[in-house]
A and B are shown apart, each in its own frame.
Chain A
């Protein structure tokens, strides 16, 4: 069975600085996608970024980028120029072709942004 692990329950960063959130996963599949979702205090789940496993290039969305290390099964999220609005819980999620659609989530990392 596939698993997703986020080993950092909490992280903090100074406004305008850069922070990296870690995620590791375990799978025997070759066809899968990885996601980062953000859950602010409103509890809405917001898609941050998506990475296809077959792509070697790391995904980037504005200030958000990932470091996808397929062999190491690592998928970290880097937030540059952190803003107060980035404060939230961040979930790493896995989708595999054998999962018939369901996402498997990590435990989440709470990010605090200090002014």
Chain B
């Protein structure tokens, strides 16, 4: 157990819908990262927050957004979902942006 928690574990929804994925980092970690793992794209970095502020953006679609709250938990919002958004979404956390990232168990999203 890495200490990073993610909810829900599984999510099944329809095209066009909106979902929210939640992540709680390890105690003491200030940095949160979101990654997407799909069969055709592999593991891709989406976005990073550090102590509530957006720090880096990767291959994140405009339909996706994220935030980190004062208690340091983070949410990833996915809207206007498409079939291609079906993937495993990981949250990772680290003490700061230079330290080792520890991953949560992931949220499996299936868009039908």
Instruction: Please count the residue pairs between chain A and chain B whose beta carbons lie under 8 angstroms apart in the complex.
Output: 57
Name A97's closest neighbour in chain B (CB-CB). Answer: B98
A103/B45 in contact, CB under 8 A: yes
Asked whether any CB of chain B lies closer than 8 Å to the CB of A90, the reply is no
Q: How far is it, in angstroms, between the C-alpha of A33 and the C-alpha of B45 when the chains are bound? A: 17
Query: How many positions in chain A have a CB within 8 Å of any CB in the partner chain?
Result: 21
Residues 30-83 (chain B) with a chain A CB within 8 angstroms: 31, 33, 35, 42-43, 45, 48, 50, 55-56, 58
Q: Which residues from chain B contact A107 at a C-beta distance below 8 Å?
A: 42
Q: Which residues from chain A contact B42 at a C-beta distance below 8 Å?
A: 105, 107-108
B100/A100 in contact, CB under 8 A: no
Name A50's closest neighbour in chain B (CB-CB). Answer: B100
Given the contacts A100-B55, A103-B45, A44 and B100 also touching, CB distance less than 8 Å: no
Q: How large is the interface on B (under 10, 10 to 19, 20 to 34, 35 or more residues)?
A: 20 to 34
Q: Enumerate chain B interface residues (CB-CB to A < 8 A).
A: 2, 31, 33, 35, 42-43, 45, 48, 50, 55-56, 58, 88, 90, 92, 94, 97-98, 100-103, 105-106, 108
Pick 22 A–B contacts, CB within 8 A, sort by A.
Answer: A37-B103, A43-B105, A44-B2, A44-B103, A45-B90, A46-B2, A46-B103, A47-B2, A47-B100, A99-B56, A100-B97, A101-B48, A101-B50, A101-B101, A102-B33, A102-B45, A103-B35, A103-B43, A103-B45, A104-B45, A105-B43, A107-B42
Q: Enumerate chain A interface residues (CB-CB to B < 8 A).
A: 33, 35, 37, 42-47, 50, 91, 97, 99-105, 107-108
